[in-house]
Structure 1
Amino acid sequence: MMKKYATFFFLGMTALAPLASQAGATAADTSDRKVPAPQSLPAPGGVLPLRDTVPVLFGMQSSAKLLQSYGIVYNDALRNIPVTSVENALYGKLAGLSLAQNNLAPGEDGAAMSLRGASPLVVVDGVPRDITSIDPEQVASVSVLRDALATAMYGARAANGVVMIQTKHGYNGKKRISFTAQTAMQQMLQTPKFLGAYDYARLYNEALANDGRQPVYTQADLDAWKNGSDPYGHPDVNWYDKVLKDQAGMQRYNLNISGGNRISRYFVDLDYLNQKGYFVTDPNNTYKTNNFYQRFIFRSNVDVELTKTTLLNLSLAGRIRNSNEPGATTASIFNNIMSTPNNAYPVHNFDGSLGGNNDYQNNIYGQAVRSGYRPAYNRNLMADLNVTQRLDAFLPGLYVKGAFSLNTYYDETLNRSKSFAVYNVIPRPGQDTLINKIGTDGQQNNSSAIADDYRQAYTEFLVGYDSTFGSHHVGVTAVGFRDSYTSVRNLPLVNASIALRARYDFEEKYLLEFVMSRSYNNMYHPDNRWGYFPAAGIGWNIARESWFRSALPGISILKLRASYGITGNTSDAGYYQYIQYFNNTTSYNFGNPSTSAAAITEGVLANPGLAWEKTSKLNIGVDISALRDRLEFSAEYFRNRNTDLLMIRGDNASGIIGNSLPSENIGESVYKGMEFTAGFNGQAGALGYFVKGNLSFLQSRMEEMQEVRRAYDWNRRTGQPVNMQFGYVADGFYQNDDEIQKGPSPEGYSPVPGDIRYRDLNGDGTINLLDERPIFNGKPFFYYGLSAGLSWKGLDLNMTWQGVGNRDIYLGGANVWEFLNTSLNGGPGQAQESHLGRWTPQTAATATYPRLTVNGNVNNHRASTFWVKDGSYLRLKNLELGYTLPQRWISRLKLASIRAFASGYNLLTFTPLKNMDPEALFTGYPNQRIVNFGMNIQL
């Protein structure tokens, strides 16, 4: 059985593995262990696991004895999801981990991770790295470490939790070759619904009339747009259709070889990804203008036993990323699509030239195909060397390890863009047509810039001891490490720690663990660079008691655990903020009348007392495993108090002293919540099945932020959830002048019927800042996931659902409000189908949008509950159907297995939001549905 697990784990078997491994595990999980085969020596990061052990920081621990707040998901649950980054495959898999894709362009679509409300530290193969663009085929497991006991060894970088990625290693066995080919089709999800030219023009005239201005479109104009009789003079252009294709392809190919013997083991992987963009192209171009992303990854993990007591591990990894976009840039094109109305100009004039005018001088089609191109090149090289020496001859269970890692990163962008002219064609009856050229057809640029270039050097020395004395088990790990980032632009950033972890258990019943670290960061004043970070945990596995086993023999784990510790956060340390900087300037004014002259000015005030932020973490949990580990359940309560948060004081001192105030350790917040994980797996004849779900609740509160003095409690930001949105409480629309006369008056504005009416919270008859209050619901945010699967005679079906609730979002700005334009074009902005529900005297009883205006409205277009929407959603994140051919069919081909599969990503979404994706909220590049087909062949 153990051989079977090792084979599945390391060779990337695509036949359905033991089903419980498909979803995230908790500290109690034992039924879905998918780990490397046992080896005789510790590997990088600690002792290589047996079936009941899981990777933790600087080692391995038995899952039955684990006191940490911990979750893990293994390779089989990740590898066939059609995503470009491993983090995108984690949706709905792990309690406490929420994800959101804020940027969706090719090569930049990695989801932002939040662990219990904070951005976690990412650790890859024991080394903190800013890299998660790893092919899932190379990943053995992804773990989340949530409490202080799990992360305190990182000390001043441990407050936000850790996402730990372990890559695959070889095994002692016959060489296996695995090749996977996948091809996918990407389709855009929920693009905005813009108004056609006719509706746009009549609503624009209406908005002008509301502002007391004359209409700009005649009835003849409206008729031409309505019947489409003049496509050049009265265009109606759906820019999504003209500039973007309906779908874009994506391919991924992976080849890995693994195996070895007692002395040496290896895993070698080659991966290629090609992700296309949606922009249309012009066959006349001799260069590529569409946006795309190509990635080449190489990884080699080799373990060699130099002697019977010495293990060497060498890991080499390289990544090459090539990307491209139109010269106008992807962001600018999507911004213009979002802000250019359908009637602005034709794509082409009657003579084939690009349309445009003085208001809109950037033809969007021209930006896509005639603005040149911008390639980018990104290179990574990683090398990890680890040597572990067992010292059993001196003391059984004693070992030491030395590690060195070097990571180089280089990112270069090239500018091959060029300008192009547009033409405004004006027919003149009885005269020659007037053609105005706007802009120039410029030469192609030829420049390059280094976007980023840094080196990371990581060194580590570890001493470990693990031994059992009868019923007593003791484990001790002492480690010191130094992590240095050197950029071409800055002095090195150095983090270092000296840490100790001690564990004790008696017959796996009574569990104790203690961690202490002393951490260093060189960006603080020399007096503030070192700090101490302790943590401790205690547990009781009741199921190990003899009286309990006699009463309930079906329960193998009933573990109560608790931990408490103090961790730090240095992510906002800045760049030597304790030193006072002075800037050269050539625009300092002297005298009366003033004269501009060169001078040296004082920069932001320095803060010599700046220190790391601190988090005190309490975690209480219970883990249950029953029915021979087929049924699992875990529940946790946590409370994280963040103190010494870096903030700028909310008073007016900066105006008095004539300079900007520095960041200070003055803030305090609390995050608390509960997390639940449950799973069941079983076998009924040839039918295998599993189901596993998780549910997380998160509540935050800003305890202290040194805000300005507020007149009323409802104005105070202190005491509210972190990042609470404030604004007015909308109370319908003003219906007539009588309501306006009798009601409170907005300060500095004279409302008219159709404007949003606001509540006067303090009853003084005026709507102003004193009437602002929290406009989000303030309820605990919750997020959840459900994974389930079936297997039967070679067929397998797996799915993952993911969702969030109590999520309020604020919708405002040029992409929501009517006729606003913040793009490079310059003319009036877009309008959407939602604006058809605007208030008019005829629609007063049913209106869903305030009266229309041009160039914004200070009363209607301000933060209020009117613009707050329910952003909850439930999504079928992934669905996979596979079939493994019977062995009797492929045995003559000398193959181990052949599996064909089809999978989908973002297939279904349920949300109260209309005409928008709950993750891509009018941000430009749309979210996407992916349909994927693939085949895996193993030799």
Structure 2
Amino acid sequence: MKKCPCIHGSMLHFMRIGLLSIALTLTAAGAVYARPAAGQEVLKKKVSLVADQEELKTVFHRLSKEAGVKFIYISPGVPDQQRVTCLAVHEDLDVVLGRLLGPLHLRMEVVGNQVILKPEVPATVVVTARPVHGRVADGAGVPLEGVSVTVKGSNTGTMTDAKGAFTLDATEGTELVISYVGYASQTVKVTGGEVSVVLTKQQNSLNEVVVVGYGTQRKVDLTGSVSTVSAAQLEDRPVTSLGNALQGTMPGVTVIQNNGQPGRDAGSINIDGIGTLNSTAPLVVVDGIISSMNEVNPNDVESISVLKDAASAAIYGSRAANGVILITTKKGRKGASQIEYDVYVGKQTPTRLPDYLPSWQAATMYNQALANVGSAPVYSATDIQQYKDGSDPVGHPNTDWLNLFYNKKGLQQNHYLGISGGSEKTQYLFSLGYFDQEGNVAKTQAQRFTTRLNLTTQATRNLKAIANISYTFNPFQEPLSSYPGVSAFSQMIRQVNRISPMVPLKWANGDYAYIGDGNPIAWLNSPSLGTYNKYLLTGSAGLDWEPVKDLHVKPFVGYTLTQDQNKSYVADIQFYTATGSAGLYQGPNNVTDKYDNTTYVTLQATIDYMKHLGNHTLKILGGYSQEYTKYYELDGYRQSFLNNQLSDLNAASTTGQTSNGYSNELALQSFFGRFNYDYDGKYLFEANLRYDGSSRFDTANRFGTFPSLSAGWRISQENFFKPLRPIFSELKLRGSWGKLGNQNITGSNSDNTYYPYITTVSAGQNYVFGGANPAFAAGVAPINGANTALKWETTTETDLGLDAAFLQEALTFSAEYFVKNTSNILLNIPVSAPYGLNTPYQNAGAVQNKGWEFNANYRGRQGAFTYNIGANAAFIQNKVTSLAGTGPNISGITIQKVGLPINSFWGYEAEGLFQNATEVAKHATQSPNTGPGDIIYKDLNGDGKIDQTNDRTYLGTYFPKVTYGFNVGAGWKGIDLTAFFQGAAGVKGYAQGIAIGQVGTTVGKPTSAMLNAWTPSNPGASMPRLLTTSYLQNDPGTNPSSFWVRNASYLRLKNLQLGYTFPQGIARRIGAQRIRLYYSAQNILTITSFYKWIDPEAPAGTAGYDYPQIKTSTFGLNVTF
């Protein structure tokens, strides 16, 4: 029989569709009649979903498995290949489906456990609608794909395409709701023109995904203490290093920047206090590899997570006692290529410089000092007048040494080029960076050249490959002094602050003048130079294999190669007297070449699995890590070159030459795991365990176990809390406990105690032979004792916290209290002299830190005007709790003593100034030269004499008791203004020596503070009487006292930024997506009661050796194509 020719393939297809539709309709009708309430039960099932640009059919499949329902639809009417984005956590199924189906113009009917999907039936049009076109982009001008655009109060909606464009029908005057996961939603009114929307990232969103150890978590699910900083918070700030950018941004993260010198200006970072008497630096992990913050280009950073408590950091075990900083760099994303170019240029100046007095006042004060000690004046009235009127510039000069030294413009520039994009399969990001910072002193300069390539590719349906490679070249240079034995740049700064204005720069014949120590400007203009070149190559590769759903196997390998090539050349200088005869000679010229190489390799493998079982969610992670570090160093020294134009080692004499070389290795082996449990989005639990082994300890104590437990209760998810949900978006209590470790005894690779459980043997020791005529003979001998019982430093921390959000997350707040106890701190405990070897390390010390931390943020919008304000603060107490029965240990002006903070100031308690000889006679004996106008030291033990052993006491600490930061920001029609303030309170500063001021002939500069020195006619003076430098009864270095301790609390306007983003229409005319011009200033205002010429962050006990803190003003341009 012949087939009917009119029934062909397409007709059969339509017949099948028709029959299926009839069958579905009949089934639905019968089921609804039989079980009218079943559909409502299905729609109220709780589901969780994280979908980022996934096909709709994939989302249906995941929801089908979790909710136990079946989705039925006819594909021509339901675009199941449409990519959608949705985030839901324990929400009703009907709410999630409404969010998914509304923009696609789909409706649903429920029959039993079946959800039938159909296109919407067009409603009768009452008001004429017209097509509305628009575009949606992020803050950088990059189009956002998959953004939900709906007409407020209706089911009409759509999604943006790959170019961020959308079109939907709406009537004029209606409002469009623009929403996207991770961004703050916006509502815009249809006015007739094209709609242009810029979404800003919702930094405090509870659904924000943050990076944690070996994975990610939603902020709302965290049970530990984790603080984050995003790329937007770091954007366009003229910071010289990434670590300095963290100052004041997070509670409990204390950054102290006490040096502004290019190349040496990285601040110290402490997390939740000072946890040890050894290295306090936190562990830094960049894209899974142990690294350093200072070599990372801030423009490459996507986010920074700081793991502060033991619960969040325990997954890193043995090196996490000081906290962990996780840095994630930017990655490519699907879509057309995006090109971003950012540039800023500006200049820098010192925030504060010493307030030295001119030469005529210096001469007058020196005469007064001589009179105070019974000596005749040196300078006559004529001398002083000549110093004052400048009539004799060589014999009676007024040399402004600071102006001669800090006389460069200090130009700074930064360039960044980023190219990113990708297909559905492969995404990429490539960047180039160049940073150049010239100091305010000649020959001071730092540069940074960076390049990075990050690749992600979906090799197969269930296999993803990730590869990152970066290279950094970081050179800097500084002038060196010819001061014998101390060539450091700091010696040059010291002499600039020390040499008197009564010394001329040059004699009349043009030769450099000099004092006994030389002439710092002559050193500066000599060929002496230190050059330091650092090269860092980092590469990593990893796989993410999903053999079955939600089971991920992730092998990872990382490699870094760090090389330092340093050269210090010191020229010799022959000074001449004013008459031209040979005077002071500083030499010989010499050079030191140093090369070191560090290779680091890590192999890691993790397996993680997540399972939803109704209201229960389980996550399990297990991993293994092997790390190996090899360090090698070689250096050589030679002197006596024929001239100062030669600097290669082989061009110098072999007399006095030295060479050194050494190497060491470090291996770590680790097993770790994490378990997370979530019940109904209300009750959260997490457990971590790490088992670490280090080659720095003997086999008996090589491994340590570091566990942690944490839990959280989301009160806001309880049924009894429903009446408060319009106010409280979130309310969570959390608590944690854990143990962490530390193996870092010293920061020096050359230290003889790098392996403290092994006795170090040196071949450079001498033995004595012979009886009546003894002689030395070279031999081998041990030089330090060993301690095979050494084990890890251990930190135990307990943390309690509260997280809250109000008014649909417009206001967020967090508070926490922590107690952190560190024990078994590795210390050198003094032993008796007959021991004969260097003191071995022992597990002896203990330290406690405890405190409160707070953080709050608010954001709002009034029409086109947006604003935000945020604040954070930490109140931390620190003290030494044990020194194993030894101590106290005093070093200069500081002490380590049980019950006091680490490195406390230790000195006499000042009780004012003596006013007359009677007061001096009645007081306890201080020194033979004590007289009226000198500082009164309190006799604490009442024995009638002042001595260091019995009368010194605690004077405060340089570590702040309170650190804080707050920011305000506003935006309006393309204009943005932000101000970020940072400060510290409850902190003491101590200055001494030339930092305060001295009087003398050729050495010593008085400061303006010394104008208020004590005299019989000025009994209420703020400074003691003037004395020459040989009288030390008031000297803050020789006799430290509370008289010189000052309140170093401060408030600093850390960054001020004003920008303008041009309308997209203007940007498109030149082919750009976004154009922004901005002004940015760093450290432009400081309020403090500390010495007005010393920055409050200057090193504790500063003595005038330090490069000043700097302030920077820049203008910049950001363009995205």
TM-score, with length taken from structure 1: 0.88
SS state at 2:844 partner: strand
SS state at 1:889 partner: helix
The reply on whether 1:332 has 2:491 as its aligned counterpart is yes
Aligned-partner Cα distance in 2 for 1:176–1:662: 58
Match of 1:193 in 2: 355
Match of 1:18 in 2: none
| Shift in CA distance, 721/31, structure 1 to aligned 2, threshold 3 Å | farther
Aligned-partner Cα distance in 2 for 1:32–1:690: 20
Match of 2:309 in 1: 147
| Kept after mapping to 2: 8 A contact 1:187/1:930 | yes
Aligned-partner Cα distance in 2 for 1:75–1:437: 60
Match of 1:350 in 2: 508
Cα drift, residue 542 of structure 1: 0.5
| Kept after mapping to 2: 8 A contact 1:152/1:567 | yes
Q: Alignment partner for residue 456 of structure 1, among 600, 604, 610?
A: 600
Aligned-partner Cα distance in 2 for 1:366–1:779: 38
Cα drift, residue 717 of structure 1: 2.3
Q: Alignment partner for residue 776 of structure 1, among 956, 980, 990?
A: 956
Aligned-partner Cα distance in 2 for 1:307–1:564: 41
Aligned-partner Cα distance in 2 for 1:11–1:500: 40
The reply on whether 1:84 has 2:240 as its aligned counterpart is yes
SS state at 1:467 partner: strand
Match of 2:1010 in 1: 835
Cα drift, residue 151 of structure 1: 0.6
Q: Alignment partner for residue 754 of structure 2, among 575, 586, 594?
A: 575
Aligned-partner Cα distance in 2 for 1:592–1:208: 56
Match of 2:1023 in 1: 848
SS state at 2:1010 partner: helix
| Kept after mapping to 2: 8 A contact 1:820/1:856 | no
| Shift in CA distance, 212/495, structure 1 to aligned 2, threshold 3 Å | farther
Cα drift, residue 899 of structure 1: 0.7
Aligned-partner Cα distance in 1 for 2:326–2:888: 43
**1:722-763: CA deviation from partner (whole Å, max 9, x where unpaired):** 2222211101122222112211112x6452222211111222
Q: Alignment partner for residue 423 of structure 2, among 256, 261, 269?
A: 261
The reply on whether 1:476 has 2:620 as its aligned counterpart is yes
Cα drift, residue 589 of structure 1: 7.4
Q: Structure 2 counterpart of 1:781, which letter? A: K
Aligned-partner Cα distance in 2 for 1:910–1:658: 53
Cα drift, residue 51 of structure 1: 5.5
SS state at 2:802 partner: strand
Aligned-partner Cα distance in 2 for 1:520–1:420: 54
Aligned-partner Cα distance in 2 for 1:741–1:639: 50
Cα drift, residue 222 of structure 1: 2.7
| Kept after mapping to 2: 8 A contact 1:326/1:368 | yes
Q: Alignment partner for residue 871 of structure 1, among 1048, 1073, 1078?
A: 1048
| Shift in CA distance, 847/313, structure 1 to aligned 2, threshold 3 Å | closer
Which structure 2 segments of 5+ residues have no match? 1-50, 54-84, 87-135, 145-178, 185-204, 275-280, 482-487, 633-661, 747-752
Aligned-partner Cα distance in 1 for 2:489–2:210: 43
Q: Alignment partner for residue 610 of structure 2, among 450, 466, 490?
A: 466
| Shift in CA distance, 104/12, structure 1 to aligned 2, threshold 3 Å | farther
**1:817-837: CA deviation from partner (whole Å, max 9, x where unpaired):** 52599xxxxx63333222232
Match of 1:436 in 2: 581
Cα drift, residue 647 of structure 1: 2.2
| Kept after mapping to 1: 8 A contact 2:887/2:897 | no
Aligned-partner Cα distance in 1 for 2:672–2:419: 37
Cα drift, residue 423 of structure 1: 2.6
Match of 1:44 in 2: none
Aligned-partner Cα distance in 2 for 1:926–1:567: 37
Cα drift, residue 186 of structure 1: 0.6
Cα drift, residue 623 of structure 1: 0.4
Match of 2:262 in 1: 106
Match of 2:720 in 1: 547
Cα drift, residue 438 of structure 1: 2.8
**1:612-623 alignment, distance < 5 Å:** 612-623=792-803
The reply on whether 1:694 has 2:867 as its aligned counterpart is no
Aligned-partner Cα distance in 2 for 1:829–1:199: 12
**1:147-226 alignment, distance < 5 Å:** 147-226=309-388
Aligned-partner Cα distance in 1 for 2:1031–2:420: 63
Aligned-partner Cα distance in 2 for 1:13–1:844: 71
| Shift in CA distance, 50/314, structure 1 to aligned 2, threshold 3 Å | farther
SS state at 1:376 partner: strand
The reply on whether 1:420 has 2:564 as its aligned counterpart is no
SS state at 1:223 partner: helix
The reply on whether 1:513 has 2:682 as its aligned counterpart is no
| Kept after mapping to 1: 8 A contact 2:546/2:552 | yes
**1:8-48: CA deviation from partner (whole Å, max 9, x where unpaired):** 4888899xxxxxxxxxxxxxxx999479xxxxxxxxxxxxx
| Shift in CA distance, 926/879, structure 1 to aligned 2, threshold 3 Å | same
Aligned-partner Cα distance in 2 for 1:399–1:575: 39
SS state at 2:577 partner: strand
| Shift in CA distance, 812/279, structure 1 to aligned 2, threshold 3 Å | closer
| Kept after mapping to 2: 8 A contact 1:293/1:322 | yes
SS state at 2:223 partner: coil
Match of 2:970 in 1: 790
Cα drift, residue 217 of structure 1: 3.6
The reply on whether 1:809 has 2:989 as its aligned counterpart is yes
Cα drift, residue 306 of structure 1: 1.0
Q: Structure 2 counterpart of 1:323, which letter? A: F
**1:592-671 alignment, distance < 5 Å:** 598=778, 600=780, 602-649=782-829, 653-671=831-849
Q: Structure 1 counterpart of 2:448, which letter? A: R
Cα drift, residue 882 of structure 1: 0.6
The reply on whether 1:134 has 2:296 as its aligned counterpart is yes
Q: Structure 1 counterpart of 2:808, which letter? A: R
Cα drift, residue 130 of structure 1: 2.6
**1:174-225: CA deviation from partner (whole Å, max 9, x where unpaired):** 2111111110111111100123222222322333444455544444433321
Match of 1:21 in 2: none
Cα drift, residue 134 of structure 1: 1.8
Identity over the aligned pairs, expressed in percent? 30
SS state at 1:222 partner: helix
| Shift in CA distance, 672/327, structure 1 to aligned 2, threshold 3 Å | closer
Match of 1:71 in 2: 227
**1:292-324: CA deviation from partner (whole Å, max 9, x where unpaired):** 112110011000111111111110100112222
| Shift in CA distance, 291/466, structure 1 to aligned 2, threshold 3 Å | same
SS state at 1:247 partner: coil
| Kept after mapping to 2: 8 A contact 1:707/1:717 | no
| Kept after mapping to 1: 8 A contact 2:929/2:1033 | no
Match of 2:910 in 1: 730
The reply on whether 1:55 has 2:55 as its aligned counterpart is no
Cα drift, residue 710 of structure 1: 8.3
Match of 2:980 in 1: 800
| Shift in CA distance, 376/639, structure 1 to aligned 2, threshold 3 Å | same
Aligned-partner Cα distance in 1 for 2:896–2:236: 48
SS state at 1:334 partner: helix
Cα drift, residue 554 of structure 1: 3.3
Aligned-partner Cα distance in 2 for 1:260–1:649: 59
Cα drift, residue 549 of structure 1: 1.9
SS state at 2:355 partner: coil
Aligned-partner Cα distance in 2 for 1:873–1:125: 35
Q: What is the aligned length?
A: 878
Match of 1:888 in 2: 1065
Match of 1:930 in 2: 1112
Aligned-partner Cα distance in 2 for 1:642–1:442: 48
| Kept after mapping to 1: 8 A contact 2:500/2:1000 | no
Q: Structure 2 counterpart of 1:582, which letter? A: V
| Shift in CA distance, 448/266, structure 1 to aligned 2, threshold 3 Å | farther
Q: Alignment partner for residue 755 of structure 1, among 924, 930, 934?
A: 934
Q: Structure 2 counterpart of 1:467, which letter? A: K
Q: Structure 1 counterpart of 2:682, which letter? A: K
Cα drift, residue 625 of structure 1: 1.3
Q: Structure 2 counterpart of 1:905, which letter? A: Q
Match of 2:128 in 1: none
| Kept after mapping to 1: 8 A contact 2:491/2:1105 | no
Aligned-partner Cα distance in 1 for 2:393–2:874: 54
Aligned-partner Cα distance in 1 for 2:331–2:931: 71
